[in-house]
Structure 1
């Protein structure tokens, strides 16, 4: 007998003719290894005792969305608390390290195997939590146009919901499908693009193509960008999609879509006339902080202009370290690697984990108890999904790809002015010589995605998307010194659709 979906809405119980207390809900949906006759007997008992007492009560325990304030409050739960940093263990900036914790899910990610765990820091957890967030956004979008209230407020709530829905689907399609390629996107399987609230007992979905997902994301993104209004976020603006955060999303979207002029346009809208405002002053943070925790708090502070969007993520990424850069990767690929004979100030945030692993301080270890008296709970942290530095580097890369090299160099200079301990001068000759080529355009493009982007976004997960965007091979060293490889067009670069989504949702798996 197929188990009932535990996320099925309580409101479906109304069709049974009376309102059941939560005991009925628990009996129906939360019983493990239940027997059918047990459920039937329990329901009969409930029908026979006290049913009439609840006929006048609303059996639905959810908040009724009848005001704009309630709709806005629901959107605070529409930001997925699943993290995708697990892709760091799959990338080319990690290696086998000694004396570090290695769980099965770490090993599976490192070896590009199917990750069968469904807890935090896994593809399945990210999938589930992101579609749950999308469901919250859809609940708001289904009713927001009929809610009473100020029109500007309605537009702002609707805009935020559209941006949340677009962002969730965008991240899912870039993890669980091939990277966008105009020549094949119409036939490449994507992910389901969910536009309506979930109302079915057990829903069946179809995978939209990558092109269809991108088209839907673009529609929601542009519509949300027109509606979003920062003035309604009192004291918590950075935890919502503000206009700057939406512009940063557009910058990433069009870079991934390879529409480089649009990437430049939206990036420029966000960066304005003084892009350096949106570049974090790492040297100042180093000077002002007294310990690692203080550094992280300043790094992720809502008051830092470079931090455009903050999200709370349930994750143990910052403590369950399995594979990290070692000293060789550190010196050859990361912070010891530059053409300026200068020291990278980002090195100050590195510390050793295990015998030879290096970790950069970006995520504060926070803990939430399951109750006031419990000693159990879960780890969480605050992440910055969009930063000004990404927008600047997106624009620089787009300029370089379109052959506007002087503009690309100017953007790179803006970033590096705050990344080295002495003033550095960025010029094409220096970059080309360092990269070992006479082609200045190629040298600049490769320098951006092979040198500066990996440094700037280490541990944040963006490197994995660069690996997919540029079809980069990856080699991992195992404990015995042998190596395994991920080819340029390897199917394993596409995360597998979670097993439950295949079995219950009817989704076709990705090829292996």
Structure 2
């Protein structure tokens, strides 16, 4: 089984296949078929494809996190990076992704989506029977869940913020593994409609619980829907789905019990993790070079345990991030209960339900502060509570691939968040609502597919 799956994955992630993922590929169709090509023939084959960690669980786009301003590089570290990393860091308008190979966020995302489509096409060929129904349904649910998550993560990076009326460009919606189907960009409304359909369709198919959070369950799908609706600024729906997720798992880690001096104090697959996934980490985000913004670090007062659990002091007096929910230096991009508490709290606050909003916020903060320092926060109105919640969201969800999306959707609410960085004495800025908040699609994708590039 392992040999079969490895051959299949290798074929899926070949450069030739990438060309076909981008659009029509006549040269590929003219090529002689490989008689040794392995085709998945059993449910176990399909499950093994989805269980391939490098293809499915460590490939969330990281370019949005690299574009946010939670960290900075020294002049020397910036100069030591490759051209693409340097251009991402200074928000250049084009040429942000390596081309000619599979090593960029777009190929990771759409390679994973191809696997989802292969599974969805393969299931009817195997057939659903009384004996395999539970496994068959679960596999379909997993493929729909991953495809929906992939499109959500991609939309956050390569699309402008959601607006029902904008008519903005969305993603090419690949819903089949057919190589010969051209890639055409949908509208942003169509993109979100598809990913919501996928996630909602996955819910009745997925199990209530799984043995490990690397496999999606109903709570993971509800959590993904909460994230999607939050990014769409549909706060009522976001709150309801966050609540559904929390009805299954409402556990919170007590940071008082963690060893803050450890290299990575937060364990992988801990009690808060509903769905475990990692981002493809851009080299500038590596803690060995990424310095935490000093203004951000100053938001954590004495008694806030995140100040020592999340950060370590460098020898030069700067700080690096160590609080990943992966238990390593990697970037966690999955679903966890702390985020669900904050989404539900924000929804309550925006609806004027101040007491409920503060109850969720204080439930979280009680587990984040030293017991001797903790005092419940209070607010007289929903608007006041909202400001407290957004501040804690900023502090709690650091390095989770969420900040880029948050900036975009909050700027649609009038937040006016602009970003700036300084390199070699030159200041680079990204004004609120700038078109560069939708990163350019990789150049080779545009060249091969003929799709329209994001406007600049």
The aligned residue for residue 138 of structure 1 is 117
Determine the C-alpha separation between the residues in 1 that align with 2:355 and 2:363.
Answer: 12
The aligned residue for residue 174 of structure 1 is 156
Return closer, same or farther for 1:274/1:96 CA change in 2, 3 Å cut-off.
Answer: closer
The Cα shift of 1:259 comes to: 2.3
Per-residue Cα deviation, 1:249-274 (whole angstroms, up to 9, x for no partner): 01111212222222222111111288
The Cα shift of 1:497 comes to: 1.2
Per-residue Cα deviation, 1:91-113 (whole angstroms, up to 9, x for no partner): 23334546656514443222111
Determine the C-alpha separation between the residues in 1 that align with 2:408 and 2:102.
Answer: 17
The aligned residue for residue 307 of structure 2 is 347
Determine the C-alpha separation between the residues in 2 that align with 1:123 and 1:467.
Answer: 29
The aligned residue for residue 254 of structure 2 is 281
The answer to whether 1:212 aligns with 2:190 is yes
Of the three residues 64, 74, 86, the one matched with 1:107 is: 86
The answer to whether 1:483 aligns with 2:427 is yes
Return closer, same or farther for 1:13/1:194 CA change in 2, 3 Å cut-off.
Answer: closer
Return closer, same or farther for 1:8/1:286 CA change in 2, 3 Å cut-off.
Answer: same
Paired residues of 1:401 and 1:445 also in contact (CA < 8 A): yes
TM-score of the aligned structures, taking structure 2 as reference length: 0.83
The Cα shift of 1:84 comes to: 3.2
Of the three residues 145, 151, 158, the one matched with 2:133 is: 151
The aligned residue for residue 402 of structure 1 is 351
Return closer, same or farther for 1:117/1:69 CA change in 2, 3 Å cut-off.
Answer: same
Paired residues of 1:179 and 1:469 also in contact (CA < 8 A): yes
Determine the C-alpha separation between the residues in 1 that align with 2:179 and 2:427.
Answer: 48
Stretch of structure 1 that moved more, 217-226 or 86-95: 86-95
List aligned pairs for 1:3-42, cutoff 5 A.
Answer: 5=16, 7=18
The Cα shift of 1:382 comes to: 7.0
List aligned pairs for 1:313-462, cutoff 5 A.
Answer: 313-315=279-281, 316=283, 319=286, 321-331=288-298, 334-336=299-301, 342-349=302-309, 350-353=311-314, 355-363=316-324, 381=330, 383-421=332-370, 422-429=373-380, 440-449=381-390, 451-462=391-402
The aligned residue for residue 54 of structure 1 is none
Any idea what SS the aligned residue of 1:227 has?
coil
The aligned residue for residue 47 of structure 1 is none
Determine the C-alpha separation between the residues in 2 that align with 1:190 and 1:196.
Answer: 18
The aligned residue for residue 189 of structure 1 is 169
Greater RCO, 1 or 2 (C-alpha within 8 Å, sep 6+): 2
Of the three residues 198, 219, 238, the one matched with 2:178 is: 198
Paired residues of 1:395 and 1:411 also in contact (CA < 8 A): yes
Determine the C-alpha separation between the residues in 2 that align with 1:123 and 1:87.
Answer: 18
Paired residues of 1:179 and 1:468 also in contact (CA < 8 A): yes
Per-residue Cα deviation, 1:337-358 (whole angstroms, up to 9, x for no partner): xxxxx52101113113473532
Determine the C-alpha separation between the residues in 2 that align with 1:463 and 1:67.
Answer: 40
The aligned residue for residue 432 of structure 1 is none
Per-residue Cα deviation, 1:295-343 (whole angstroms, up to 9, x for no partner): 2xxx2422x2201111255534663655432434411xx323xxxxx52
User: Structure 2: 5+ residue runs without aligned partners?
Assistant: 1-14, 21-25
Determine the C-alpha separation between the residues in 1 that align with 2:402 and 2:37.
Answer: 39
Return closer, same or farther for 1:18/1:181 CA change in 2, 3 Å cut-off.
Answer: closer
The aligned residue for residue 434 of structure 1 is none
The aligned residue for residue 228 of structure 1 is 206
The answer to whether 1:251 aligns with 2:221 is no
Return closer, same or farther for 1:107/1:283 CA change in 2, 3 Å cut-off.
Answer: farther
Paired residues of 1:80 and 1:130 also in contact (CA < 8 A): no
The Cα shift of 1:90 comes to: 2.4
Determine the C-alpha separation between the residues in 1 that align with 2:353 and 2:238.
Answer: 14
Per-residue Cα deviation, 1:166-207 (whole angstroms, up to 9, x for no partner): 1111111121111111221xx10011111111322xx53110
The aligned residue for residue 506 of structure 1 is 450
Return closer, same or farther for 1:497/1:479 CA change in 2, 3 Å cut-off.
Answer: closer
TM-score of the aligned structures, taking structure 1 as reference length: 0.74
Determine the C-alpha separation between the residues in 1 that align with 2:112 and 2:91.
Answer: 27
Q: How many matched pairs? A: 420
Stretch of structure 1 that moved more, 502-511 or 81-90: 81-90
Determine the C-alpha separation between the residues in 2 that align with 1:196 and 1:273.
Answer: 33
The Cα shift of 1:467 comes to: 0.4
Determine the C-alpha separation between the residues in 1 that align with 2:56 and 2:134.
Answer: 22
